[in-house]
Amino acid sequence: MVESGWFSRAGFGLFVHWDHASQQGIEVSWPLVGRSLVSDPSARDIVSVAQYQSSATTFDPRHWDAPSLATLARTSGAQYIVFTTRHHAGFSMFHTRASDFSIEHTPYRADITRQLIEAARAEGLRIGLYYSLSDWHHPDYPAFQESDKPYVFEHYRRPSTEAWSRYLDYVRTQLTELLTGYGPVDLVWFDGQWERTAEEWRAAELRQLVASLQPDAIVNDRLPGQGDYDTPEQFLPTKPPGRAWELCLTMNDSWGWRPQDTNYKSPHLLARYLADVVSRGGNLLLNVSPTGDGSLPDVQVSLLEQIGAWITSHRDAIIGVRPAPAAVDFHGPATTRDDRLYLFLLDRPQESVVVRGVPIRRVRRVSLIGTGRELRHHVPLAALDEHLLGTDLLGELLIDAPEPTGALVDVIAIEFESA
Ligand code: GLC
């Protein structure tokens, strides 16, 4: 697995999807083109283009509190925040000289992106900026119109060559603003790439631009052909990508605030995703959706607090770890750090927990994270094995099934004597 610096073992990050249209309680961007990312037809939120964009003029999120969100992110165990500075609908959540269609020209005026970046940095979090390559509002893109409906994938209206080159200037200007005006940026999260080819985007040049302005920043795979890591969305790949990766996941079925979407995942399921992801070498980027007034919905705060409490008490097994060595055979996620192996008990074990392919002669202690209680275990050694040489002999360990502690997922820690 090719690692990518701090990112490869970050474990957990927070995604924030927000737009002026959150005032209308509809998904970010997609309602404008009359599509939904969810198969539920009632989730389409179809509105006219004009209706979608009408709430830009009234955007005044008085309850937005960037420091609280950043604190919540940190206390829930997140190592980084990724924020939608501009989504496909084209509204910039930052001050930009490239367009009037931004937060600066709303009753709120203040630069929300700056507020969040400063708050995140104050909490010691890494900064990721989401930026949509496509812009359904920009005249040179060209802007999406009612007459373009229905939105059909792979059938996009193209502008003239001159308009396209002006559009690319706009993208470069905005990226330059984002990457020079806000201090160090750790990650650029591109999106909306599918409407054009890598050549049309001049993807390699954009990568160059990022590298020249923020040499340490990494870039996701949605800048075609240029990414440092992969971004599977909404499902766990059964075969993990061969390089750094991150699963982006919604708590319910929507990225933006949609009050009618109450299909929230349980805290246990979220913990399960996190365990599965980190045990396969990825990070979980879990999304929250501020409402139109800037507050975070209670249900999302509560979910973050619950998963956060679990991460905090099981941090050693989740943050800064690697997948268990390939030799380890365990029916569930397993991670490793230094001389320890962590086994996630997704399902309640019967009698004993069995793990194979571990250095049985070096087992020092087996315990349950959280309570720290030692667990009885034994190695079913054959007489023959006793005579096999070497302390690195890999074999089978049987651990007495622990009583559940009440944690979202219980985790067993096995400590080994150093080789
Ligand atoms: C998608 C969507 C979008 C969401 C995102 C997150 O491609 O278009 O609304 O921002 O990816 O992964």
Say what the pTM is: 0.96
Pick from 280, 315, 304: nearest CA to 411: 315
Atom of ligand 1 nearest to the CA of 231: 12
The confidence score (pLDDT) of residue 329 equals: 97
Whether residue 13 contacts residue 81, with contact meaning beta carbons closer than 8 Å, is answered with yes
Q: Is 412 helix (H, G, I), strand (E, B) or coil?
A: strand
In angstroms, what is the span from residue 191 Cα to ligand 1's centroid? 7
Instruction: Please name the residue whose Cα sits nearest to atom 11 of ligand 1.
Output: 191
**Confidence band of 35 (pLDDT split at 50, 70, 90):** confident
Whether residue 85 contacts residue 129, with contact meaning beta carbons closer than 8 Å, is answered with yes
In angstroms, what is the span from residue 244 Cα to ligand 1's centroid? 19
Q: Quote the CA–CA distance of 68 and 70 in Å, as a whole number.
A: 5
Whether residue 188 contacts residue 219, with contact meaning beta carbons closer than 8 Å, is answered with yes
The confidence score (pLDDT) of residue 264 equals: 97
Classify domain 324-416 at the CATH superfamily level: Golgi alpha-mannosidase II (2.60.40.1180)
Angle (deg, nearest 10), helices 203-213 and 161-180: 20
CATH fold match for the domains 5-317 and 324-416: no
Element (H, E) at 352: strand 352-359
In angstroms, what is the span from residue 265 Cα to ligand 1's centroid? 19
Residues 249-261: what's their mean pLDDT?
95
Q: Quote the CA–CA distance of 311 and 74 in Å, as a whole number.
A: 11
Domain ranges of the chain: 5-317, 324-416
12-41: b or e for each residue (b if 16 or more CB lie within 10 Å)? bbbbbbbbbbbbbbbbbbbbbbbbbebeee
Atom of ligand 1 nearest to the CA of 194: 7
Q: What is the second-level CATH architecture of the domain 5-317?
A: Alpha-Beta Barrel (3.20)
Ligand 1 first shell, C-beta below 6 A: 17, 28-29, 191, 233, 248, 255
In angstroms, what is the span from residue 129 Cα to ligand 1's centroid? 13
Tens digits of residue pLDDT in 44-80: 677 999 999 999 999 999 999 999 999 999 999 999 9
The confidence score (pLDDT) of residue 36 equals: 76
Atom of ligand 1 nearest to the CA of 15: 6
In angstroms, what is the span from residue 23 Cα to ligand 1's centroid? 19
Q: Which residue has the higher pLDDT, 390 or 200?
A: 200
Tens digits of residue pLDDT in 126-147: 999 999 999 999 999 999 999 9
Residues 223-241: what's their mean pLDDT?
94
The confidence score (pLDDT) of residue 44 equals: 67
**Confidence band of 380 (pLDDT split at 50, 70, 90):** confident
Look at residue 2 and tell me whether its pLDDT is greater than 60.
Answer: no
